[in-house]
Each structure stands twice: as structure tokens, then as C-alpha cells.
């Protein structure tokens, strides 16, 4: 399920205008790069300290599963596709938030090129995993590596869902999920997987990393919803990176006008 390009542009203009309000300033690039979740590199927010061994070249992303035209895209091929910059809110399930300019293109471009087959109802993303390059993968072999996430196919096909290759006008730093990640701005951040190497179209809802480990804390859908608390904290408010200003959490992270129709 998608919305027309005209409807998307008209609605997105209003959303992005709202994002420009003083209560949601653009997050400083250095702050955003020094405070990231990347579980393969540890539980802290200092993943940037542990990236020396992580090799992102060469890289490819396989699109496979219930498709007529499976394909492995090299990073060079992805970078040659037309891209754009979009400033999105990003809301972590841990109740911190940022607003950053991503560079990329709608994921539906790759999915349509693969020609999804009729039984396909879900999309699973698999992240790169290597214990020789990622300290937490080596230290926690009992976790369900590799990191996987999933969306319904209509969510994955939505024009807001991006395949991202850059941020702040340059290539993604490793701690942001270089060289290719997914961004789904109306869901909690763990639904936007980093360092993606495989995209699979499936008939059934896939198992996912955090939902396997703690299903009560990380449900599959995980739309940003201030009325549904996390088992250990409220989701009514969020703290902005850098200033730590507290603001109210917006339903669907402020993108309700564009995505609410997916859930009725």
C-alpha cells in the first residue's frame, strides 16, 4: 500500500514545516555521532570508539525472497541511484530523540525493481554480523545474531521509509550504520536497522532480534505512541540530544497524517 506522489509531497511539506519549529531543532552532527545505539558494538552510546576493525568496503545488499527478480546490489550501484536529503525526527524507544538530515531514497524503489510476488506480506532486514569486527557479537554469542528487523510490506513500501546512505551531507559514519541502513521515522529507532546486507520478502511475519530477546519491550509493530508506556518507563515525553530539553512525544513521531491510514 502506498500513497500517491502528489499526496505525499503535499503532506510531507506540512510535516517538515512542523519539524522546523523551535521545539525540534536540528541536532548537532557531532552530538548525533557520539550518542548512538549499535548493539553489535556494545550496550553503551559510544559505539564510535570501537569502529576501527569494522570494514564497510566492499559492500552489497541482496534483495531476495518472494520476488520475481532477486538481485544483489553493490554499494556503488546504490550510490548511483538518484537520492535526496530529508530531515526526519528520530525517536529511540529509550525516550531520547534527535532531528537529522538523512540522504537516501525510498526503499520502495528497490522493492519494486525486485517485483514482489503476490504472497509477500512482510519484509525482513538482516544486518552485517562478524565477531572479528564487532566486539559485542563476539562477547555475546548467545544473542540471536545477526540483528534482524521487519516491517509489513505496506510499511516498507511507504514513501517515508528510506534506504539511507548518508547524513549531514556526507556518507554515513560507521556508528550510524554505514554504509547502508533503513530509516522508518514513525517507529522507534530499533526498527531502523543499521549496516543492512539482506532484504527478504516473506509471506509470514519474521522473527526479529529484539522481539525475540524481550517481546514485551519490543513488539513487532512499535509505532511511536505516547499512550503506551514501555514496561520500565513512560513514553509521554522525550529528551532531545544535545540540550536534553524535554518535549512531549508526538503520536507516530509527528508523521500521523502520512501513516495513520496504514493502521485503520
Q: Which residues contact 108 (CB under 8 A, 6 or more apart)?
A: 2, 156, 157, 158, 159, 161
- What's residue 201's pLDDT? 98
pLDDT (tens digit per residue) in 26-66: 999 999 999 999 999 999 999 999 999 999 999 999 999 99
CA distance 1 to 168: 30
pLDDT (tens digit per residue) in 210-261: 999 999 999 999 999 999 999 999 999 999 999 999 999 999 999 999 999 9
What mean pLDDT is predicted for residues 196-216?
97
Q: Which fold does the domain 5-263 belong to in CATH?
A: Sulfite Oxidase; Chain A, domain 2 (3.90.420)
What mean pLDDT is predicted for residues 74-87?
97
Q: Where do the domains of the chain lie?
A: 5-263
CA distance 45 to 176: 11
Banded pLDDT at 24 (limits 50, 70, 90): confident
Asked whether the whole model's pTM tops 0.75, one would answer yes
Q: Dihedral of the CA atoms 136, 220, 159, 200 (nearest 10)?
A: 70
Q: Where are the alpha helices (DSSP H) in the chain?
A: 5-19, 29-33, 75-80, 108-114, 135-139, 153-157, 209-213, 256-259
Banded pLDDT at 23 (limits 50, 70, 90): low
- What's residue 156's pLDDT? 98
pLDDT (tens digit per residue) in 113-157: 999 999 999 999 999 999 999 999 999 999 999 999 999 999 999
Q: Is 194 helix (H, G, I), strand (E, B) or coil?
A: coil
pLDDT (tens digit per residue) in 157-191: 999 999 999 999 999 999 999 999 999 999 999 99
Amino acid at each position: 500500500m502506498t500513497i500517491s506522489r502528489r499526496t505525499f509531497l503535499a503532506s510531507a511539506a506540512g510535516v517538515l514545516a512542523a519539524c522546523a519549529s523551535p521545539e525540534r531543532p536540528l541536532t548537532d552532527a557531532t552530538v548525533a555521532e557520539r550518542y548512538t545505539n549499535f548493539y553489535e558494538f556494545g550496550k553503551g552510546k559510544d559505539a564510535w570508539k570501537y569502529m576501527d576493525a569494522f570494514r564497510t568496503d566492499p559492500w552489497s545488499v541482496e534483495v531476495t525472497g518472494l520476488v520475481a527478480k532477486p538481485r544483489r546490489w553493490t554499494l556503488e550501484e546504490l550510490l548511483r541511484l538518484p537520492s535526496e536529503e530529508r530531515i526526519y525526527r528520530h525517536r529511540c524507544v529509550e525516550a531520547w530523540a534527535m532531528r537529522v538530515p538523512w540522504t537516501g531514497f525510498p526503499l520502495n524503489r528497490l522493492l519494486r525493481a525486485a517485483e514482489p510476488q503476490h504472497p509477500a506480506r512482510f519484509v525482513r532486514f538482516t544486518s552485517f554480523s562478524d565477531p572479528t569486527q564487532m566486539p559485542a557479537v563476539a562477547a555475546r554469542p548467545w544473542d540471536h545474531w545477526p540483528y534482524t528487523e521487519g516491517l509489513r510490506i505496506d510499511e516498507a513500501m511507504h514513501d517515508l521509509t528510506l534506504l539511507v546512505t548518508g547524513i549531514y551531507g556526507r556518507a554515513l559514519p560507521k556508528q550510524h550504520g554505514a554504509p547502508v541502513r533503513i530509516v522508518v521515522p514513525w517507529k522507534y529507532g530499533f526498527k531502523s536497522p543499521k549496516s543492512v546486507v539482506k532484504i527478504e520478502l516473506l509471506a509470514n511475519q519474521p522473527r526479529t532480534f529484539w522481539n525475540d530477546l524481550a517481546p514485551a519491550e519490543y513488539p513487532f509493530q512499535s509505532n511511536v505512541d505516547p499512550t503506551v508506556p514501555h514496561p520500565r518507563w513512560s513514553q509521554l515525553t522525550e529528551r532531545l540530544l544535545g540540550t536534553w530539553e524535554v518535549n512531549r512525544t508526538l503520536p507516530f513521531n509527528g508523521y500521523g497524517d502520512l501513516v495513520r491510514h496504514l493502521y485503520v
